[in-house]
Amino acid sequence: MVTDAHIHVQPWRQLSPRALERMAAGRRDLDLIRRVLDDPAEFLRFLDQQGIDRAVLVNYVSPDVIGFTDEVNDFVGAFCRGHEDRLVPMGGVHPRLDPDPAGSLQHIVEKHGIRALKLHPPHQHFQVNAYRDGGRLPGLVALYARAQELKVPVMIHTGTSIFPGARNVYGDPIGVDDVAVDFPDLTIILAHGGRPLWMESCFFLLRRHPNVYMDVSGIPPRLLPRYFPRLSEVADKALFGTDWPGPGVESPRRNLEEFRALPLAPEIKRTLLEGTAERVFGRR
């Protein structure tokens, strides 16, 4: 079985003009993208064609940078309803703009069936450890504590972003060290493995903290041996993901084929494609 742990099925009509222009640059499959993002049945057929058995549908709130409001949670919850064996709804709250992010998390879990949470520091303009030492976002404590209590995995964007308005200073993953220490039972996923600047920091965090994982989405699979030469050592903490239809990602199948061609042991590939995802998101 193959799980794509990072695929963007979002309400594309909410994209700001600048974000849509950036996402569409160089793509020839916009009609396909719109069609599958509008129809769960079409999307499931698309997954079958791409060789993907299960997908984590990543959504987050970023009205000022990307255009997405908290309506993404209603969207992804409804999109996945009835297909929970194949689709995992990942929703979002905005720690900087929401006066009660923990309450909002509780709400989207109970009302929309959200099973994982996405935070995007470069697009939401905050440090993940901004609750420490009198930091400006004390509400993060309650948010992380609530996610830990509800057993909701938290995916955190790490690495840079090329979208207009992104603040890449917030993409440095080292602040996750504080979060992992303070919330040891919170499952944390470092999206994109810190690429292209902070891969070593991500590798360190995976080895140090039992509750920290990463996905390798948004990285051309052929570059994984260069970015993570010791990937086999942390295979049980790593998830395969594509980031489709993000910039530079032609198709899930293309990434899957490139990944399967890597000089990694078969059991290592199986772990990234299936084993780690089962541990983080449960079995199908």
Q: Each residue of 24-72: pLDDT tens digit?
A: 998 999 999 999 999 999 999 999 999 999 999 999 999 999 999 999 9
Residue closest to 264 by CA, chosen among 224, 205, 213, 214: 224
Residue closest to 140 by CA, chosen among 158, 127, 149, 150: 127
Residue 216 CA to residue 108 CA, distance in Å, equals: 27
Residue 178 CA to residue 102 CA, distance in Å, equals: 19
Q: Which structure tokens are listed for 22?
A: 């950036």
SS3 (DSSP) at 154: strand
Residue 275 binned pLDDT confidence (cut-offs 50, 70, 90)? very high
User: For the stretch 64-73, what's the b/e string if a residue is b when 16 or more beta carbons lie within 10 angstroms of its beta carbon?
Assistant: ebbbbbbebb
Q: Which structure tokens are listed for 37?
A: 């993002």
What average pLDDT does this structure show over 198-221? Answer: 99
With beta carbons less than 8 A apart as the criterion, state whether 42 and 93 touch.
no
Domains, in order of start, for the chain: 3-281 (3.20.20.140)
Residue 216 binned pLDDT confidence (cut-offs 50, 70, 90)? very high
Residue 178 binned pLDDT confidence (cut-offs 50, 70, 90)? very high
Residue 89 CA to residue 1 CA, distance in Å, equals: 19
> In the prediction, which pLDDT does 94 show?
99
User: For the stretch 54-63, what's the b/e string if a residue is b when 16 or more beta carbons lie within 10 angstroms of its beta carbon?
Assistant: bbbbbbbbbe
pTM reported for the whole predicted model: 0.98
Q: State percent of the chain over pLDDT 90.
A: 97
Residue 90 CA to residue 109 CA, distance in Å, equals: 10
236: left (phi over 0), alpha (psi -120 to 50) or beta: alpha
Strand runs labelled E in 130-262: 154-157, 188-191, 212-215, 238-239
Residue 135 binned pLDDT confidence (cut-offs 50, 70, 90)? confident
SS3 (DSSP) at 220: coil
Non-local (6+) Cβ contacts of 21 within 8 A are: none
